[in-house]
Amino acid sequence: MSRRLLLLCSVLLCIGSLPAQQKSTPPTHPTSSAAHQGTAASLPTEDTVNAFLKQMFGYDETLSWKVASIKPAPGGLAEVDVVISNQQGQQGNKLYVTPDGKHALTGEIIPFGEHPFTEDRQKLEKGINGPSRGPADAPVTIVEFSDLQCPHCKQAQPTIDKLVTEEKNVRVVFQHFPLPMHEWAQKAAYYADCVGRANNDAFWKFIQSVYDAQADINSSNADEKLKGFADAAGVKGTDIAVCADKPETAGRVERSIQLGKSLEVTATPTAFVNGRRVPIGVNQYEVLKMISEYAAKQGKD
């Protein structure tokens, strides 16, 4: 992948290795609602975004792109979500276009102020519904949005496991965020939600089994595999399968997804420490530990 692509596509989406699409793939109905700050009139058009991307990446015939959404963003900016593909896979990135349409910023808009993480922390406190580990009254709550089919989530899980074992001031809450391009992730989320409601300790055993067996699970054998993992975790797999098929379970997972979306979660794994978005990938343990210890000292202001 070219240096220029890496500069633009700074946020890796955990969506597997998909084949490159054909050049100038038509966008899938980007959003242009003026639900936030700004108006539809100030948003760039799909044609303009595609023309910009052609100028940026047209030199490389192995690349293709898709405009996922165009919507108002804070500060009068327009947020453009773009997915760029090549033979190795896909990456997503956000562009923030100025109101005059002449400049764009890449990266993320982050909260600002004396207490920048309070709003997201309050959203999480009201919305979390997943299993947890650690003291219920811990001064630090880490909320992890994860996808059981996501290889990056599998790689990040030891970081979370180590932290919750070594840091007694930390509580970890698991929230389901199955990505739509993963063929069995949603089913796994349904099973895991039911396992967690049946037995909290069994949940953590169950998801570890799923992570360990990612390469062996597919849409055809997912039910059989997941029932077996439930049995091995200490709950009855056939009962979990019945629960996983209930509308109530689908509703719980959907609420978790919507909670993530309200916090601008677009990829997995994504974690929040008392409302602060933090990295939890491989080799991120020390950073996560320092942020968690600092948050414990700060309290929940």
Residue 244 within a domain? yes
- The whole-angstrom separation of Cα 5 and Cα 76 is 26
Interval 173-191: pLDDT, tens: 999 999 988 999 999 999 9
- One domain for residues 85 and 158: no
Residue 153 within a domain? yes
Interval 251-273: pLDDT, tens: 999 999 999 999 989 889 999 99
Interval 12-57: pLDDT, tens: 333 333 333 333 334 444 444 434 444 555 899 999 999 999 998 8
* Helix axes 200-212 and 222-233, enclosed angle (nearest 10): 130
- One domain for residues 289 and 178: yes
Residue 96 structural domain: 3-106
* Token pair of 162 as six digits: 């180590």
Residue 127 within a domain? yes
CA 223 to mean position of chain CA atoms = 24
**DSSP-assigned beta bridge partners for residue 271:** 144, 278
- One domain for residues 228 and 288: yes
- One domain for residues 124 and 256: yes
- One domain for residues 95 and 166: no
Residue 175 within a domain? yes
Residue 221 within a domain? yes
Q: Domain tally for the chain? A: 2
Residue 113 within a domain? no
- One domain for residues 67 and 168: no
- The whole-angstrom separation of Cα 272 and Cα 173 is 10
- One domain for residues 75 and 202: no
pLDDT for 134: 95
Percentage of the chain beyond pLDDT 70 is: 84
Residue 111 within a domain? no
Final residue before a domain boundary, out of 106, 137, 155: 106
Given a cut of 70, is residue 228 above it in pLDDT?
A: yes
- One domain for residues 204 and 56: no
Which helix H or strand E contains 137, and what residues bound it?
none
pLDDT for 267: 86
pLDDT for 137: 94
Nearest CA-CA partner of 259 in 143, 153, 164: 143
Q: What is the CATH number of the domain that holds 168?
A: 3.40.30.10
Mean pLDDT of the chain: 86
- One domain for residues 11 and 149: no
The residue among 94 and 192 whose pLDDT is bigger is 192
- The whole-angstrom separation of Cα 299 and Cα 33 is 38
Number of Cα atoms under 13 Å in the Cβ half of residue 224 = 6
Final residue before a domain boundary, out of 106, 126, 148: 106
The residue among 24 and 246 whose pLDDT is bigger is 246
- One domain for residues 129 and 240: yes
- One domain for residues 51 and 144: no
Final residue before a domain boundary, out of 106, 134, 164: 106
Residue 112 within a domain? no
- One domain for residues 70 and 184: no
pLDDT band at 91 (very low <50, low <70, confident <90, very high): confident
Interval 103-114: pLDDT, tens: 999 877 888 899
pLDDT band at 8 (very low <50, low <70, confident <90, very high): very low
